[in-house]
Amino acid sequence: MSVLDGKVVVVTGASSGLGAAVVRLLGSRGARVYGLARDPDRLSEVFAEVPHGRWRVTDLADAGACADAISDAVAEFGRLDCLVNVAGAHTMRHTPSVTDEQWHRDLAVNLNGPFFLCRAALPHLLETAGNIVNVASTAGTQGQAYSAAYCAAKHGLIGLTRALAVEYAHTAVRVNAVCPGGMLTPQVSNFVAPDGADFDLIMRTASPRGMSQPAEVAKLIAFLAGDDASAVHGAVYAADNGRSAD
């Protein structure tokens, strides 16, 4: 029997890329998965392969929508064991060209949404000795060119992870983070460099081993989500094919 058998897990960014890989893997290991994303067609496609799964179209930048999503997941399945914050967005821009709207939207998706969901989920996770897995990025541990808002948000997400780990140190709740490097996802395949970008700076983020497959990173997330990781709390795991080793 899988350590995830019967666990109720909310996964954001569930319609594509790493989020979809996490949904499929957790579902295959017996978890009851509640997926959140903005594209109903792609959500429907992903969850057609997931037994006992449910999904909801949700704007993670909206605090009320995040609270409602957690409430609906608990109402649907009767409990909550894990929250996996995968959803994120990254558009490279020259910093002087970043508009106020772009700055606020980048932080809303990459940092505010995970906070809103953690805030709503924690009372339920305290009841089940559950856990949170936040998906940050190598951009949360180092600077990356043309990515001021994204780096700020992902550094913030690691800070949020560590703050919650300390706050809940005397409970059974666990909070951890995963920092993927480059992955073969739609975000990469749709990548567009800003005009006049210095590609030497962009390629400083590349791993000598190349990009990971989403399914590879999903396995690390599944480990942290399950009871086999009961001793892991407040950790920040690099999943970057060795990029952070040098």
Please tell me the distance from the alpha carbon of residue 163 to that of residue 143, in angstroms, as a whole number: 21
The pLDDT tens digits along the chain (246 residues) read 578 999 999 999 999 999 999 999 999 999 999 999 999 999 999 999 998 999 999 999 999 999 999 999 999 999 999 999 999 999 999 999 999 999 999 999 999 999 999 999 999 999 999 999 999 998 898 998 889 999 999 999 999 999 999 999 999 999 999 999 876 666 666 677 888 888 877 777 777 777 789 999 999 999 999 999 999 999 999 988 777 776
Residue 86 C-alpha from the chain's centroid: 2
Does 168 qualify as catalytic in the annotation? no
Listed in sequence order, the residues at least 6 apart from 201 whose beta carbon sits closer than 8 Å to its beta carbon are 145, 146
Name which of 30, 23, 22 is nearest 4 in CA terms. Answer: 30
Catalytic residue among 34, 146, 150, 168: 150
In which residue are the tokens 């089940």 written? 128
